[in-house]
Chain A
């Protein structure tokens, strides 16, 4: 079974530029998550989708971050414009059904973003 795929693995941009990250979850998984992991901290949930609907985006800085999951499969997270403090690893995860914590979340390798 293929795992969660993310691309690109690394990205360097200058502040005020825009950037997009892509995630393909495990086939058939209904729930998809985007996390931000700043150096020295644990992951923080940005947004959770169930199929193509948003379950929780309370931690997403909506003035600059956006995410979509068209057709309920893969997802894109965008930052526009980027700030220095957005430098982090962006992790995508998926789980099979409802996203309740009894389900195991499977994480991708992450995209490491550096904003200069």
Chain B
């Protein structure tokens, strides 16, 4: 069965520190992969997506993600976190018209 797992429910990092949010999936084939961010009271915003090609994907707001087929992972990274990055982050996987979201990781940024 297709599934997507975000192992960390909540992560706290200090402002200026690096960040990595984990995402693992189970799918019959290599799916399309996405990361979304949801700020309080806001809808989801697409950070980046991977369909094929270069496995390191650059997104908006300084985020990047790396697809690792052998590990069925698509982890999100940022070299230096800003206080405004505090939000909920969702990994999503899909194929054609079917997209499934992980449960999310809440990021807290300490001053």
Contacts and interface: CB of A to CB of B under 8 A. Distances in A.
Interface residues of B, number: 23
B8 to A, nearest CB: 13
A101 interface: yes
Classify the interface of chain A: helix, strand, loop or mixed: loop
Interface of A: 3-4, 40-45, 48, 55-56, 91, 93, 99-102, 104-110
28 contacts: A4-B43, A41-B103, A41-B104, A42-B4, A42-B90, A42-B100, A42-B101, A42-B102, A42-B103, A42-B104, A43-B101, A45-B99, A55-B97, A56-B98, A91-B43, A93-B43, A100-B97, A101-B94, A101-B97, A104-B46, A104-B49, A105-B46, A106-B43, A107-B44, A107-B45, A109-B41, A109-B42, A110-B43
Given A100-B96, A101-B95, A102-B51, A44 B45 contact: no
B97 A109 contact: no
B65 interface: no
Nearest to A102: B51
B32 interface: yes
